[in-house]
């Protein structure tokens, strides 16, 4: 197909050739083409088959308002090829066809439309019930859009950005650009979003001149140059707004160009003010076969020629309801299109200059006429025109029917932002009656069509938006209002919805193959609200997001139901324009915290797992039972990186009061040089955290929390003291201090080689706390703890020195065979000692008493109003609570899994942790069971997932399983 290569309005570069493959052939396009226009240039007229009836579909809107040109592009189905810029080497496939788009073996379904009335999916083939699953499979196989492979991996880079602006303008047409320029005059930050790859909107392809004699396309380019040269306007082209939310949060996505590093980019703008200058789309004219290839909207035909250099046909008939149709006819005629007739649904009101231009070109115009049927199999061959009452018919041969009932504004951003919409009788538009705060309309969507008025309305909106965002522009706004008032106002719009047809093949929604007949069927079945009819018939629920039926459906329903209520548009939901889920996903940064020893532990063979926000070394070999790690701690010495532990300083005059409030113990008994182990409960007495507290000075304490609770601890203190007005301060030192847990019978010997303090049991006993310097440089807080049941030192060192201290201990311990142990080994070691981990031996409902920590609770500090104390007093009288017990399997070689249920004829508890203990040779663990099952010796029946009815058995035994007197950790 020859291009009109010399047109000044072109957005293609004919000298840069690009190719694509489709149906085994290579097609040639040029830079600037969309996939659809390149195929059109190559002679393709049928791009897809429709959802239900497999009717042929072709170019219609050129803006992706329907699924007519949805195709599989490079393995991605449902790509709107009208909006997708051509890239060299693309592979295109037709979808939802058996055969090809041109010859689809399922096209016969079109004849079976009588079998598929409105709502058939809900009503037929449901009885007998067994029939529906089979029918559903067949229907789904025959109907639908593209199919994506479950293994498909999305290619490309998906970017995201979060902008702040005083003014955001949605729409880069003349009004939008004027608005942006006006808003930018005040120096505010302005963001301009344009869904096409270039600015210009409806000016971009039009030769019509404005009042100053300048062609509109030139004016558009002039405005675009100004906008792009204005430093405080950020222009996002090929960026469609997809959401509009309260407080003027605008979301959009931008398609990346050849020079961009992203495939698509999610854009989120928090804006003070928003201008909606989205213009209008064409309102489809409904007549028989109104979606036959060869039928297209005015803008589609006009832009094909002016933007892409492609004449849309050879011989055309127009059926329009707006002056844009007449303007396009004149222009396309001048470019070489033969026009046999124009049917204008309006009896009067046409622009006299356009009428004169038509007469000069001898193009016949029938006023008050409309197309009633497009004839032809796979493309238009003939058109029937009729008077609006259908009384008189005439037939015209053609291969192109340019059809449009008029215009409808793109008001999605208003609707999403909560604007109240109403039908305007003068323009025939659905317009907002109450605008959301700091949102302003501009341009053609207000009904104006005069170029000067379009720009003036944009300027006014820009100034109003800037003013709303804080600029002092009252006088300028008043002037702009006067200027706009002096220009032509909103024009009277055509309100015709359907030609005089019965509607069996008159489609109100192309995406879902919904006809006027279907709407009538729904109304006859009692549906009288457009929202319900939309759902019952599925009109407007396809990929076009209601672009085609969005305006016509409520008007048609109002007409058919003789409703006296003002019609309102059906709902709009984000995304207003479909895009990839990958675009919403954006970056895939894995944000995890790592300890200072992370990389060293990798070097030492650490196998990491994500634990909350941290990555921790869980194992140090492929033996996930960790036998060697465990036995090395029991018999020798090991090192654990415990840096993830929560660490806090609390200080200030009321620090002790705050500790008394949240800890169950009497914290006034914390002695210098000693650690105090205690726990925190919530108001229900359920234990939420435990840790140790040391006293640094008067009303100055250092305490630890579990890893998982560290992020919430400050809030927890503040929340539970919020009414007291206490003066205390907290500092989260979790990341500041690395923690080394040095454990095992040789721990003292190893530490002794590194530090200069007396480590004897008398000088530094169990539960002792000391501060010292290593090599007079590294400050260390050291605690004698025994979580794993051995002689242990917990060394808190500045994070930047963690590696240095770790390496010193490693070097010092080499002669003893010191080695790392990970979180899993620690888990087994402490389980053997029956030291609990909250979250492992407890859950949401487990209180302090259930897990055997009641000894921590000081009942005498009533004045502290300890969190959870009231609930604990009640709970200690409750005999029906779960109780933590030690259990041993009858088969020591078969430990139950963590979380396995303890049952009889109902659930009686669950296994919290269980492992094969290499220290004792027994399969032991802890379980929470009903108190009736807690007696020593009680036989427990255990149910595991996928046990196939085979139960496991265990008995309640004494705790702990290892070193019951604690001699090893206290020695």
Chain residues that interact with other proteins, rule: CB under 8 A:
159-164, 166, 187-189, 231-232, 261, 268, 270, 587, 589-596, 598-599, 613-614, 644, 649, 651-652, 697, 699-700, 727, 729-737, 754, 775, 777-778, 798-804, 807-808, 811
Find the angle CA(277)-CA(280)-CA(282) to the nearest 5 degrees. 165
Q: In sequence order, which residues have a C-beta less than 8 Å from that of residue 60 and are 6 or more positions away?
A: 66, 68, 69, 291, 295, 296, 297, 300, 510
Helices 174-184, 216-229: inter-axial angle, 10-degree rounding: 30
Least distance between other proteins and beta carbon 432 (Å): 27
Min CB(187)–other proteins separation in Å:
8
Q: How far is the CB of 607 from other proteins (least distance, A)?
A: 18
Nearer to other proteins, 270 or 970 (CB): 270
| Cβ at position 261, least distance to other proteins in Å | 4
Closest C-alpha among 194, 161, 164 to residue 179: 194
- Smallest gap from Cβ 377 to other proteins, in A, equals 51
Minimum gap (Å) between residue 810 Cβ and other proteins: 8
Identify which of 161, 173, 163 has the alpha carbon closest to the alpha carbon of residue 227: 173
For other proteins, give the closer residue by CB, 127 or 589: 589
Q: How far is the CB of 480 from other proteins (least distance, A)?
A: 23
Q: Shortest Cβ distance from residue 32 to other proteins (Å)?
A: 24
Q: Residue 563: how many CB atoms within 10 A of its CB? A: 14
CB 171 within 8 A of CB 278: yes
- Alpha helix stretches (DSSP H) within 363-501: 412-416, 451-468, 474-485
Residue 666 Cβ vs other proteins, minimum distance, rounded to whole Å: 23
Place of tokens 């939420």: 688
Q: Compute φ and ψ for 106, nearest 5 degrees.
A: -95, 10
495: nearest Cα among 579, 423, 600, 406:
406
743 beta partners = 638, 792
Q: How far is the CB of 621 from other proteins (least distance, A)?
A: 24
Nearer to other proteins, 160 or 381 (CB): 160
Taking the least distance from each CB to other proteins, the nearer of 214 and 800 is 800
Phi, psi of 536 (to 5 degrees): -70, -35
| Nearest residue to 55 (alpha-carbon basis) of 297, 377, 403 | 377
- Nearest CB to other proteins, comparing residues 773 and 907: 773
For residues 443 and 765, give the distance between their C-alpha atoms in angstroms, rounded to a whole number.
Answer: 81
CB of 478 to other proteins, least distance (A): 25
CB of 722 to other proteins, least distance (A): 13
* CB-based contacts of 211-214 (< 8 A; 24+ apart in sequence): 211/451, 211/452
Note whether 955 and 937 are within 8 A (CB).
yes
Q: Measured from the CB of residue 743, what is the shortest distance to other proteins in angstroms? A: 21
* 3-state DSSP of 870-921: HHHHHHCCCCCCEEEEEEEECCCCCCCCCCCEEECCCEEEEEEEEEECCCCC
Q: Between residues 206 and 234, which has the closer beta carbon with respect to other proteins?
A: 234
Among residues 48 and 774, whose Cβ is nearest to other proteins?
774
Cβ neighbours of residue 107 closer than 8 Å, sequence gap 6 or more: 49, 54, 55, 56
Q: Indicate the residue among 196 and 819 with the shorter CB distance to other proteins.
A: 819
Shortest reach from residue 592's CB to other proteins, in Å: 6
State the Cα–Cα distance between residues 232 and 497, nearest whole angstrom.
Answer: 43
DSSP code, position 435: P
Q: By C-beta, is 749 or 881 nearer to other proteins?
A: 749
Nearer to other proteins among residue 99 and residue 257 (C-beta): 257
Q: CA 463, CA 178: separation in Å to the nearest integer?
A: 10
Task: Say which residues have a Cβ less than 8 Å from residue 479's Cβ, sequence separation at least 6.
Answer: none
Handedness of CA 650, 651, 654, 660 (dihedral sign): positive
Report yes or no: 398 and 340 within 8 Å, Cβ to Cβ: yes
- Strand partners of residue 432: 421
CA distances from 164 to 190, 243, 606 (A): 9, 16, 43
Taking the least distance from each CB to other proteins, the nearer of 320 and 465 is: 465
- Of residues 188 and 446, the one with the C-beta less far from other proteins: 188
Instruction: Mention every residue, 6+ apart, whose C-beta is less than 8 A from residue 589.
Output: none
Task: Please identify, using beta-carbon distances, which residue of 812 and 959 lies nearer to other proteins.
Answer: 812
Nearer to other proteins, 106 or 163 (CB): 163
Nearer to other proteins, 260 or 930 (CB): 260
To other proteins, the closest distance from the beta carbon of 219 in angstroms equals 27
> Can you tell me whether residue 582 is helix, strand or coil?
helix
């Amino acid at each position: 197909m020859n291009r009109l290569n010399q047109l000044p309005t072109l957005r293609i570069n004919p000298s840069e050739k690009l190719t694509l493959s489709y149906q085994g052939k290579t097609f040639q396009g040029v830079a600037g083409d969309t996939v659809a226009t390149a195929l059109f240039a190559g002679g393709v007229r049928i791009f897809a088959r429709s959802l239900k009836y497999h009717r042929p579909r072709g170019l219609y809107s050129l803006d992706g308002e329907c699924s007519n040109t949805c195709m599989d592009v490079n393995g991605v189905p449902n790509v709107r090829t009208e909006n997708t810029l051509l890239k060299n080497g693309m592979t295109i496939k037709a979808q939802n066809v058996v055969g090809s788009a041109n010859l689809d073996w399922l096209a016969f379904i079109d004849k079976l439309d009588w079998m598929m009335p409105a709502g058939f999916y809900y009503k037929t083939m449901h009885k007998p019930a067994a029939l529906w699953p089979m029918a559903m499979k067949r229907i789904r196989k025959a109907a639908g859009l593209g199919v994506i492979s479950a293994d498909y991996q999305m290619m490309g880079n998906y970017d995201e950005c979060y902008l702040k602006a005083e003014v955001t303008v949605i729409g880069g047409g003349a009004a939008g650009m004027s608005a942006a320029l006006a808003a930018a005059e005040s120096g505010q930050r302005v963001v301009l979003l344009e869904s096409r790859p270039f600015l210009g909107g409806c000016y971009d392809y039009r030769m019509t001149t404005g009042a100053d004699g300048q062609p509109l396309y030139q004016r558009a380019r002039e405005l675009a140059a100004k906008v792009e040269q204005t430093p405080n306007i950020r222009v996002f082209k090929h960026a469609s707004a997809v959401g509009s939310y309260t407080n003027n949060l605008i979301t959009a996505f931008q398609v990346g160009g050849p020079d961009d590093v992203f495939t698509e980019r999610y854009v989120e703008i928090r804006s003070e003010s928003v201008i909606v200058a989205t213009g209008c789309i064409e309102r489809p004219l409904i007549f028989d076969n109104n979606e036959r290839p060869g039928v297209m909207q005015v803008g589609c035909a006009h832009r094909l020629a002016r933007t892409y250099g492609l004449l849309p046909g050879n011989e055309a008939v127009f059926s329009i309801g707006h002056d844009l149709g007449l303007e396009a006819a004149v222009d396309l005629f001048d470019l070489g299109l033969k026009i046999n007739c124009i049917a204008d649904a309006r009896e009067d009101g046409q622009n006299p200059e356009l009428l004169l231009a038509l007469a000069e070109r001898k193009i016949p115009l029938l006023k008050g006429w409309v197309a009633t049927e497009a004839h032809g199999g796979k493309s238009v061959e003939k058109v029937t025109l009729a008077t609006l009452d259908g009384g008189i018919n005439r037939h015209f041969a053609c291969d192109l029917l340019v059809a449009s009932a008029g215009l409808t504004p793109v008001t999605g951003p208003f609707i999403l932002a909560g604007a109240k919409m109403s039908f305007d009788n003068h323009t025939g538009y659905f317009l907002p009656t109450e605008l959301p705060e700091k949102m302003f309309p501009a341009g053609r969507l207000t009904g104006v069509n005069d170029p000067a008025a379009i720009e003036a309305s944009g300027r006014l909106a820009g100034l109003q938006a800037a003013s709303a965002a804080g600029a002092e522009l009252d006088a300028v706004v008043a002037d702009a209002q006067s200027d706009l008032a002096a220009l032509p106002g909103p024009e009277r719009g055509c309100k015709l919805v359907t030609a005089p047809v019965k509607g069996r093949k008159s489609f109100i929604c192309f995406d879902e193959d919904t006809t006027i007949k279907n709407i009538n069927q729904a109304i006859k079945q009692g549906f009288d609200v457009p929202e319900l009819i939309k759902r019952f018939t599925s009109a407007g629920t396809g990929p076009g997001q209601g672009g085609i039926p969005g305006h016509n459906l409520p008007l048609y329903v109002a007409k058919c139901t003789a409703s006296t209520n003002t019609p309102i548009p059906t709902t709009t939901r984000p995304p207003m324009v479909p895009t990839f889920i990958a675009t919403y996903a954006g970056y895939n940064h894995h944000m995890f915290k790592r300890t200072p020893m992370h990389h060293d532990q990798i070097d030492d063979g650490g196998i990491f797992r994500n634990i909350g926000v941290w990555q921790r070394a869980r194992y140090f070999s492929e033996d996930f039972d960790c036998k060697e790690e465990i036995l090395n701690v029991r018999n020798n010495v090991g090192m654990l990186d415990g840096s993830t532990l929560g660490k806090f300083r609390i200080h200030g005059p009321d620090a002790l009061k705050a500790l008394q409030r949240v800890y169950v113990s009497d914290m006034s008994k914390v002695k210098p040089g000693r650690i105090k182990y205690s726990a925190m409960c919530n108001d229900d007495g359920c234990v939420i955290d435990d840790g140790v507290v040391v006293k640094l000075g008067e009303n100055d304490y250092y305490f630890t929390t579990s890893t998982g609770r560290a992020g919430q601890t400050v809030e927890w203190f503040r929340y539970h003291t919020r009414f007291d007005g206490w003066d205390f301060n907290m500092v989260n030192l979790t990341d500041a201090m690395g923690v080394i847990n040095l454990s095992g019978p040789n721990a003292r010997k190893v530490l002794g080689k590194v530090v200069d303090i007396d480590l004897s049991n008398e000088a530094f006993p169990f539960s002792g706390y000391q501060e010292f310097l290593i090599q007079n440089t590294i400050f260390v807080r050291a605690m004698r703890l025994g979580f794993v049941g051995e002689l242990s030192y917990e060394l808190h060192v500045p994070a930047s020195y963690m590696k240095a201290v770790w390496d010193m201990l490693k070097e010092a311990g080499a002669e003893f065979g010191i080695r790392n142990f990970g979180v899993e080994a620690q888990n087994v070691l402490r389980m053997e000692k029956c030291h609990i981990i909250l979250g492992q031996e407890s859950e949401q409902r487990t209180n302090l008493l259930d897990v055997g920590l009641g000894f921590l609770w000081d009942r005498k500090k009533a004045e502290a109003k300890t969190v959870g104390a009231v609930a604990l007093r009640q709970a200690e009288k409750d005999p029906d609570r779960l109780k933590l017990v030690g259990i041993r399997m009858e088969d020591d070689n078969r430990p139950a899994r963590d979380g396995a249920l303890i049952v009889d004829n109902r659930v009686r508890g669950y296994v919290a942790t269980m492992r094969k203990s290499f220290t004792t040779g027994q399969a032991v663990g802890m379980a929470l069971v009903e108190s009736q099952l807690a007696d020593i010796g009680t036989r427990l029946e255990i149910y595991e997932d996928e046990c196939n009815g085979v139960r496991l058995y265990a008995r309640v035994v004494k705790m702990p399983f290892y070193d019951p007197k604690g001699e090893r950790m206290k020695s």
